[in-house]
A and B are shown apart, each in its own frame.
Chain A
Amino acid sequence: MRRDPWALALRVYCGLVLAFLSLPIVVAVGVAFGSDRIARFPPTGLSLQWFGVALSSRTFLGALGNSVVLAAFTTVLTTLLALPASVALVRRRFPGQHALEAFLLSPLSLPGVLYGVSMLLFLGAGGFGLAWWGLLAAHAVIAVPYVLRTTLAVYRGMDRGLEETAAVLGANPWQTFRHVTLPLLRPGLVAGGLFAFLTSFDNVPVSIFLTTARTTTLPVTIMSYLVNQDFDPIVGAISAVQVGLVVGLLLALDRVYGVAQITSFGGQ
């Protein structure tokens, strides 16, 4: 059987792209499993000692905990903001609607460093200091476009007749929202929430200006560790833990919703 040369070329091309995307991660994670005192890839020997060092480091563990809590709160907060915004933007007509949508999505095109500095100045000028809620608010601002975009996409693809029929059948506006709109928006909310979590979880440019020694996040901690030390296997180990957490989260979501359903926005 002759194989189509174009199909083969496409496979090779896709393979190269995947390799390009994943090799740096392979290196970072691979280093963590090495027995060398300095980071070396491929490692000369295998060992789990660096995980032991990393996971007994208060600095890294504390930062990891901060990051998880911050990302979780960011996810909840952005969902609470994006859901009503989607309802207003999709089902209502009001002046300035398009401007509002563009505004809510604008953090996507805002340079993170610029926003981080601005937020720092704002918190300073307001006399708030580096409060944790300031960090949370900043993360919510940069993550809200992700939830909003996926939710808007799902909502705009939803047949309006479903909500209308529910109303004719006797469902009041709240019941219609609760029993029809919300369940059908779920794929968009879950996908957007996942993006929001990841956006917060690995953010450096905004967090670096707004964290203190007590609230510092994992990426910021890794950054400053790398600035002060050489790239040693501890960083690789903590990165591997971070990658593991994210992959675990994805797998868990896949078990519950199916990643295919999330990424295709649940087209039934």
Chain B
Amino acid sequence: MSGAGASAERSADVELRGLHKRYGGVVAVESLDLRAEPGEFVSLLGPSGCGKTTTLRAIAGLTPPDGGLVIIGGRVMNDVPVHRRGLGLVPQNYALFPHMTVMENVTFGLRMRRTAPADVERKALEALGTVQLAGLEDRYPRQLSGGQQQRVALARCLVVGPTVLLLDEPLGALDKKLREAMQVELKSLQRQVGITTIFVTHDQEEALTMSDRIAVMHRGRLQQFATPQEIYEAPRNRFVAEFIGVCNFLEGRVAGRDGAALLVRTNGGDLVSISAPEGRSPGEGTRVVAAIRPEKLHFRSPGAAGTLRARLETLVYVGTAVHFHLRTASGERLIVYRQNDSAPPPALAPGADVQVTWEPSAARLLPE
């Protein structure tokens, strides 16, 4: 689409340098450094109150930061008023103007810019076509479904050719099925338009499926900024590991090395291997914590070497998989996901003693 293509050329990078914001005595964002490349889809992910929305609002210019720089397309934006930043925003509730039709909503930005009426009409129809809403021009927002409203909000942004698209939990109000459909649609639209996108969400799955990179935030601080794969496979700390997906944590002491792997004696007395991080080799006897994803644990027949002993407490059937809840001898809880590709062996019943193992590379050492 030509109108959308034009915006791609103008797509800008977004850089935050030492961003700082407090509300009264509460720190909302603390010395945040972040950079989104042109055309990149970056998610700000974290629990409520982590500072992600404040960060987005600082980029938009709606919340002036107490310190730090907001740089868009190489230009410091701190003193540029909201309406001159040339951005697009889809807030959580879409904020469609209730007194305007779909057409009037979509043309709003163009009309405020005093675009020639002929261009206004053409661009708006193009944008509505892009979000597949052609034919609904004369409806009012209240006559639209949640998904349609969301598309109108999106078209309303894209039509002005913003340099950056800001999305504040835009899928939060939709039901699960529609949300998943919109995730795919939104992502492909973003790729097609090629616009730099900052996406605020508390839904880790949403962030994983849509982002080029995810910025995990907690208590106003950036915890990790990396690709979804890196975030999931190599969480930098316990918060990230716990917040993204489900994670098992295993404590123990270093008992030696086995090639690239670190041998660890667990609190329960088992000897297991975990991958040793590059540039870090904790000495023998050091206390360490390892993170292992539940789908990377496998059951082994009793007596095999390098396994962890545990007792099976409960089974949770979730359809595509079965979740086994285990407890180790030293009382640590573990969760094991087993693909539901065959019936689980009868030995895997609550109360059974089991042994689990994993590829050493699947267990990551966390900084303590």
Contact = CB atoms under 8 A, between A and B. Distances in A.
Q: Do A and B come from one complex?
A: yes
Interface of A: 159, 161-162, 164-173, 175-176, 179-180, 183-184, 268
B112 interface: yes
Given A167-B82, A169-B89, A170-B160, A162 B97 contact: yes
A166 to B, nearest CB: 7
A168 B85 contact: yes
Nearest to A164: B62
Contact of A162 (B85, B95, B157): B95
A171 B88 contact: no
Contact of A165 (B81, B95, B98): B95
Given A170-B109, A179-B112, A165 B99 contact: no
B25 to A, nearest CB: 17
Contacts of B160: 169-170
A240 to B, nearest CB: 38
Given A169-B108, A169-B156, A183 B91 contact: no
A179 B111 CA distance: 10
B113 A170 contact: yes
B93 A161 contact: yes
Contact of B109 (A164, A169, A172, A184): A169
A168 B62 contact: yes
Interface string B59-76: 011100000000000000
Interface residues of B, number: 28
20 contacts: A159-B93, A161-B93, A162-B95, A164-B82, A164-B89, A165-B89, A167-B61, A167-B81, A167-B83, A168-B61, A168-B88, A169-B88, A169-B112, A169-B157, A170-B113, A171-B109, A173-B83, A179-B108, A180-B97, A184-B99
B41 to A, nearest CB: 19
Contact of B95 (A164, A172, A173, A176): A164
Contacts of B92: 161
A171 B108 contact: yes
A253 B174 CA distance: 38
B86 interface: yes
Contacts of A159: 93, 95
Contact of B108 (A164, A166, A183): A166
B142 interface: yes
A110 B142 CA distance: 42
A261 B133 CA distance: 29
Contacts of A175: 83, 112
B166 interface: yes
Q: Which 5 A-B pairs have the closest CB atoms?
A: A169-B109, A161-B95, A168-B89, A167-B82, A165-B95
A166 B88 CA distance: 10
Contacts of B81: 167, 172
Nearest to B91: A161
Given A165-B91, A179-B108, 4 more contacts: A161-B92, A164-B60, A164-B89, A173-B83
A184 B98 contact: yes
A173 B61 CA distance: 13
B100 to A, nearest CB: 8
A168 B87 contact: yes
A166 B98 CA distance: 12
Task: Indicate the member of A159, A169, A179, A180 with the most B CB atoms within 10 Å.
Answer: A169
Nearest to A175: B112
Contact of B112 (A161, A164, A170, A184): A170
Contacts of B83: 167-173, 175-176
Contacts of A172: 81, 83, 112
Contacts of A169: 83, 88-89, 108-109, 112, 156-157, 160
B97 A168 contact: no
A186 to B, nearest CB: 8
A183 B95 contact: no
Contacts of A180: 97
Contact of B91 (A164, A170, A176, A268): A164
Task: Indicate the member of B83, B92, B109 with the most A CB atoms within 10 Å.
Answer: B83
B95 A170 contact: no
A175 B142 CA distance: 23
A173 B112 CA distance: 11
A80 to B, nearest CB: 22
Contacts of B166: 168
Nearest to A186: B99
Contacts of B86: 170
A167 B87 CA distance: 10
A268 B143 CA distance: 11
Contacts of A179: 108, 112
Interface in B95-126: 95, 97-99, 108-109, 112-113
Task: Indicate the member of A159, A166, A176, A268 with the most B CB atoms within 10 Å.
Answer: A166
A202 B336 CA distance: 78
A268 B140 CA distance: 11
A261 to B, nearest CB: 12
Given A165-B89, A268-B142, A171 B112 contact: yes
Contacts of B112: 166, 169-172, 175, 179
A262 to B, nearest CB: 15
Contacts of A184: 98-99
Nearest to B63: A164
Contacts of B109: 169-171
Interface string B123-144: 0000000000000000000100
